[in-house]
Structure 1
Amino acid sequence: MTAFDGIGGAYAENLPVIMISGSPNTNDAGAFHLLHHTLGTHDFKYQIEMARKVTCAAVAIDRASDAPRLIDHAIRSALLASKPAYIEIPTNLAAAPCAPPGPISAVLAPERSDPDSLAAAIDVAVSFLGKKLKPMLLAGSKLRAAKAEKAFLELAEATGYAVAVMPGSKSFFPEQHPQYIGVYWGDVSTKAANNLVDWSDGLLCAGTVFTDYSTVGWTADPKGARIFTADMDHISVTGHDFSRVLLADFLSGLAQKIKYNDATMVEYSRFRPNPTLQPAAEPEAALRRGEVARQVQSTLTPNSTLFVETGDSWFNGVQMDLPDGARFEIEMQWGHIGWSVPSCFGYAVGAPNRKTIVMVGDGSFQVTVQEVSQMVRLHLPILIILMNNHGYTIEVEIHDGAYNNIKNWDYAALIETFNAGEGHGKGYRANNGRELADAIAKAAANTRGPTLIECTLDRDDCSKELMSWGHWVGAANARPAAAI
């Protein structure tokens, strides 16, 4: 059942994960047996019923002859929806013979937009945007799931519009591109992106998701007649709604018809903030959050993928400038603490040639620390920047209480436990900037296993962005009940 947590996260974050689970022998239900690994009842269907809540397709194979059809259906559903699917196979059927599946094209063939709906949606978008004086683009977290990043870039360059991204889609549009104006996140936006987004009279939102977290407690929630929404498979604007229009097809088709209008870039040039360089701290001064972020920023390359854990790591990472090619992973929708450690492990297995870095708080780290042993076992050179501020700082800023305190660990020494005399993981503790720089240099030389750097921080040392965001999210959570 613990796997359902990850599957729920994959559903929320639009990730096509295939979960394959065993189930009881097909004879046990009719025999009214009680079995281990169950709820101790004669009902064995509850697991697939639970799976249906967190997947786009859940199938149970009760006869071997049904396997080709049901497995193809589950996999194709996951690929098309970019959501997880669940396949349940009884213990006595796993090796049972069945007919071979048909051509793989039945599973992999892409879905097509309805041509008439696509053409009509593009025409409406051309008319809508053509009447705006200050149109711009906003990229959302579903852009990648829709395989529409390339089409979005094509549209941006065809329009000349300013481009902002939401925090869940950081790195989906190149940050070194001249039309990039930062992360739109209300009061905690980067590069003053909120000034332009709030000022624009026409906002094309591509794959966007507006939640209490992404809108900073509903204080930055674009809506109304100025909003044109392009979702993964449908298009909507005031007075119009088109289904069976795939996002990539729509963006690419619109790029062929739209007129160039760089008014928002001209306006942005008037208030674009000057780049500010974070000064290096005194080498022996007590380590601060800002110095950790500055040094992590200096490690980023086009080949880097930066994971930021739920917490202050969100805000540290969102503020960083990504070189072209660098990727950024954040779990903004599901928001599960502890997700980054197992996620970066899986990512490093699947993308061994990329440089994987994770920023994680001590509280989150304690939830899924066991996955570090897998990094040691598979010799994965993941860099773990562990922010040790003795508790759940993000929760402190939303709603403080004794429950946000945790037992401190010797995190740097913990790596030797996972090594068990044979692994090549490294653990270091940094109390100041010099020690952190030395540890990062040693991590770069360790290609045979993970390196964990425990950064000792004051409990109250967090970003001003977290403080502002926490205030507004806390206020939204504490709204009194509406009268009925």
Structure 2
Amino acid sequence: MKYEYTVSDYLLDRLSELGIRHMFGVPGDYNLAFLDDVIGHEGMEWVGNRNELNAAYAADGYARINGIAALSTTFGVGELSAINGIAGSYAEHVPVVKISGAPTTKVMDNGLYVHHTLGDGKFDHFSRMFQEVTAAQTFLTQENAAYEIDRVLLACLTEKRPVHITLPIDVYNKPASKPTSPLHEAVTDSNQEALEQMLAEITPMINEAKRPVILAGYEVNRYENREELLQFADKTGIPVTILSGGKGVFNEEHPQFIGVYNGELSAPYLQQRVDEADCIIQIGAKPTDSTTGGFSYNFSEKNVIQISPFSVKATEKKHAPITMHDALSALSGKVSKKDPESMDIKSLHEQLKSGTYEAKEENLQQNRFFERLSSFMKEKDILLAEQGTAYYGAATMPIPKDTMVIGQPLWGSIGFTLPALLGSQLADMGRRNILLIGDGSFQLTAQELSTMLAQQIKPIIFLINNDGYTVERAIHGENQPYNDIPMWDYMKLPEVFDPEGRTLTLKVETETGLEEALKAAEENSESMTFIEVMMHRDDKPDLLEQLSKRFANQNA
């Protein structure tokens, strides 16, 4: 019997209310009937992926631009294929709703040995696995569906982390009542008393500091506080640096921006300016080994004021609940503006003053490639940089105002950015998406190129072909066979995945060849542009060259 309004309708309406317009995933018999409702839902489009892991990566990329995403897979096999991608979203605070279609409640109550199970009559194995990598979990029934859907979605919104919903195939079509109020009404607010106590303690610390610095990170993006960060910087006059995971949270053309901090691997001025600061206002930043030169920062923790999404901490005292938005807004009105002369600000633009780039008839090298790519970038571009040579080349590459950068420096699952590109481009079709990915990473998730071509999206893909795992060779086993991969004829893949040939494919080996390819990419507005960039296998960006040695020592 088909009811007028069902549990499925309620779930899809809530997702739509949150701005989700695409559902990623892979069909299986335990979610097929639910997918009928996805396809029939006004404003929701089904995007079938080539496997569940890619679906999770695509949802992650979508959520980083859209604010939240959703994917659906079948029970057991589909869930576990997706769990690595969900774990990455959990590690890097990306809000994704994972919906798992499950067998009927009767089958589960009777402990039947059905397919996609472990054959032991137990059906909670996989939901328990997801408890470790999600902020909230639920098993929907007809009775609890509305309450539980709202509960886990609020957790997803508030914690900016994935949630897991188990939806039995005989529950999705049960009757439900329509929502009576918007979901976002319950989002956390700051406590006024805690806010006032924070201002009383923190304001004098910043005002009395002689050499303060702002160190921002990716949580500024997750909680959509870029404007508040900019306002705080403008009103205080304090110089701003970021960790590479936070590229895009602050305008790198701003006169107060002094560069991307990488501990001892930073430029001398930047390292000294941060490490010798007497007050470090750490905003949404989480130092990791890959973003701090292997934990080589030398500033004192006692000088750190940590502004997190829901708290402010200094001198071991935490003030909460206070949202990052309210903390920055309140401090902007209280902190006195610093004298520009005393702040010793050398903007990134000033530090990088150099000669004009001129292409040569020489083989491309990593550092030259990223130097040229920097000027190819445009305002509001979305740049995806795969873990490895691509990420560490892009990490310190200057980018224009309002550029968004997607990488995965903490979780570091190679192959992530190719499916993530599908998600980020679908999230905002009005922005140019550019992907930088190495050949080793590309081979892990290459089949998602097929989905992109089917969706007729038009990003620019730079495939850096350096004949294997260059980042791994740099850390250990330079000539070992485990760092080798089979050579593919990458230029033929777009045609294999799309026989209609709707892709501009180019191969580049020299600097002048790159110029021609960039010009062709600029002029191509009709299709995807796929550029294979040939590099020597031992050539590495400067940052990776130095960081790999630290990783090798760290792993010893």
Which TM-score band applies after superposition, normalised by the shorter structure?
over 0.9
Cα distance, 1:251–1:315 mapped onto 2, change above 3 Å: same
Cα distance, 1:429–1:205 mapped onto 2, change above 3 Å: same
CA distance in 1, matches of 2:127, 2:538: 45
- Matched with 2:66 is none
Structure 1 position 26 matched with structure 2 position 105 = yes
Structure 1 position 404 matched with structure 2 position 491 = no
Cα distance, 1:41–1:423 mapped onto 2, change above 3 Å: farther
Cα distance, 1:367–1:87 mapped onto 2, change above 3 Å: same
Deviations 1:292-323 (A, max 9, x none): 22332232111311111101111221232212
Residue range with higher mean Cα deviation, 267-276 or 253-262:
267-276
After the TM superposition, which residues 92-111 of structure 1 pair with which residues of structure 2 at under 5 Å, given as runs? 92-104=170-182, 106-111=183-188
Q: Is the Cα contact below 8 Å between 2:211 and 2:342 reproduced in 1?
A: no
Residue range with higher mean Cα deviation, 5-14 or 267-276:
267-276
> 1:53 is paired with a residue of what secondary structure?
coil
CA distance in 2, matches of 1:132, 1:22: 55
2:125 equivalent among 38, 41, 46: 46
Q: CA deviation at 1:350?
A: 0.9
Structure 1 position 14 matched with structure 2 position 93 = yes
- Matched with 1:120 is 197
Structure 1 unaligned segments of length 5 or more: list them: 479-484
Deviations 1:417-436 (A, max 9, x none): 0112x241232211222322
Deviations 1:200-236 (A, max 9, x none): 1111101110122222222126442111111111111
Q: Is the Cα contact below 8 Å between 1:122 and 1:254 reproduced in 2?
A: yes
Q: CA deviation at 1:238?
A: 1.1
Q: CA deviation at 1:460?
A: 0.9
CA distance in 1, matches of 2:475, 2:523: 39
Structure 1 position 35 matched with structure 2 position 114 = yes
Deviations 1:34-70 (A, max 9, x none): 1212223211101111111111111111x21211100
- Matched with 1:452 is 530
2:305 equivalent among 225, 228, 236: 228
> 2:290 is paired with a residue of what secondary structure?
coil
Q: CA deviation at 1:166?
A: 0.8
- Matched with 2:137 is 58
Q: CA deviation at 1:254?
A: 0.6
Write the letter of the residue equivalent to 1:12: A
Write the letter of the residue equivalent to 1:74: V
Q: CA deviation at 1:6?
A: 1.5
Identity score, percent? 28
CA distance in 1, matches of 2:501, 2:455: 9
CA distance in 2, matches of 1:277, 1:349: 38
Q: CA deviation at 1:31?
A: 2.5
> 1:175 is paired with a residue of what secondary structure?
coil
Cα distance, 1:360–1:9 mapped onto 2, change above 3 Å: same
> 1:244 is paired with a residue of what secondary structure?
coil
TM-score w.r.t. structure 2 length?
Answer: 0.82
> 2:531 is paired with a residue of what secondary structure?
strand
- Matched with 2:398 is 321
CA distance in 2, matches of 1:191, 1:352: 40
- Matched with 1:255 is 332
Q: Is the Cα contact below 8 Å between 2:98 and 2:165 reproduced in 1?
A: yes
Structure 1 position 309 matched with structure 2 position 386 = yes
Deviations 1:269-314 (A, max 9, x none): 499624234633423x222223322332232111311111101111
Q: Is the Cα contact below 8 Å between 2:257 and 2:347 reproduced in 1?
A: no
Cα distance, 1:402–1:443 mapped onto 2, change above 3 Å: same
Residue range with higher mean Cα deviation, 295-304 or 215-224:
215-224
Cα distance, 1:200–1:419 mapped onto 2, change above 3 Å: same
Q: Is the Cα contact below 8 Å between 2:393 and 2:544 reproduced in 1?
A: no
Cα distance, 1:286–1:267 mapped onto 2, change above 3 Å: same
CA distance in 2, matches of 1:66, 1:31: 21
CA distance in 2, matches of 1:331, 1:17: 15
Cα distance, 1:190–1:308 mapped onto 2, change above 3 Å: farther
Residue range with higher mean Cα deviation, 66-75 or 446-455:
446-455
CA distance in 2, matches of 1:359, 1:270: 26
After the TM superposition, which residues 214-293 of structure 1 pair with which residues of structure 2 at under 5 Å, given as runs? 214-220=291-297, 222-262=299-339, 266-269=343-346, 273-277=351-355, 279-283=357-361, 285-293=362-370
CA distance in 2, matches of 1:330, 1:277: 30
> 1:86 is paired with a residue of what secondary structure?
strand
After the TM superposition, which residues 129-278 of structure 1 pair with which residues of structure 2 at under 5 Å, given as runs? 129-189=206-266, 192-220=269-297, 222-262=299-339, 266-269=343-346, 273-277=351-355
Residue range with higher mean Cα deviation, 190-199 or 35-44:
190-199
Cα distance, 1:264–1:51 mapped onto 2, change above 3 Å: farther
> 2:383 is paired with a residue of what secondary structure?
strand
Residue range with higher mean Cα deviation, 270-279 or 385-394:
270-279
Deviations 1:413-453 (A, max 9, x none): 11110112x24123221122232222233333333432211
> 2:295 is paired with a residue of what secondary structure?
coil
CA distance in 1, matches of 2:286, 2:356: 32
CA distance in 2, matches of 1:302, 1:265: 31
> 1:213 is paired with a residue of what secondary structure?
helix
Q: Is the Cα contact below 8 Å between 1:179 and 1:265 reproduced in 2?
A: no
CA distance in 2, matches of 1:273, 1:184: 14
- Matched with 1:481 is none
Structure 1 position 474 matched with structure 2 position 537 = no
Residue range with higher mean Cα deviation, 269-278 or 434-443:
269-278
Cα distance, 1:312–1:188 mapped onto 2, change above 3 Å: farther
- Matched with 2:495 is 416
Structure 2 unaligned segments of length 5 or more: list them: 1-79
Q: CA deviation at 1:471?
A: 0.8
Cα distance, 1:303–1:224 mapped onto 2, change above 3 Å: closer
Write the letter of the residue equivalent to 2:554: A
CA distance in 1, matches of 2:137, 2:356: 50
Q: Is the Cα contact below 8 Å between 1:414 and 1:427 reproduced in 2?
A: no
CA distance in 2, matches of 1:82, 1:108: 16
Residue range with higher mean Cα deviation, 48-57 or 325-334:
325-334
Write the letter of the residue equivalent to 2:460: L
After the TM superposition, which residues 421-440 of structure 1 pair with which residues of structure 2 at under 5 Å, given as runs? 422-440=500-518
> 1:27 is paired with a residue of what secondary structure?
helix
Cα distance, 1:24–1:338 mapped onto 2, change above 3 Å: same
Report how many residues are paired.
474
Q: Is the Cα contact below 8 Å between 1:304 and 1:357 reproduced in 2?
A: yes
CA distance in 2, matches of 1:112, 1:24: 39
- Matched with 1:482 is none
Q: CA deviation at 1:96?
A: 1.3
Write the letter of the residue equivalent to 1:416: E
CA distance in 1, matches of 2:86, 2:154: 17
Residue range with higher mean Cα deviation, 427-436 or 338-347:
427-436
Q: CA deviation at 1:253?
A: 0.3
> 1:64 is paired with a residue of what secondary structure?
coil
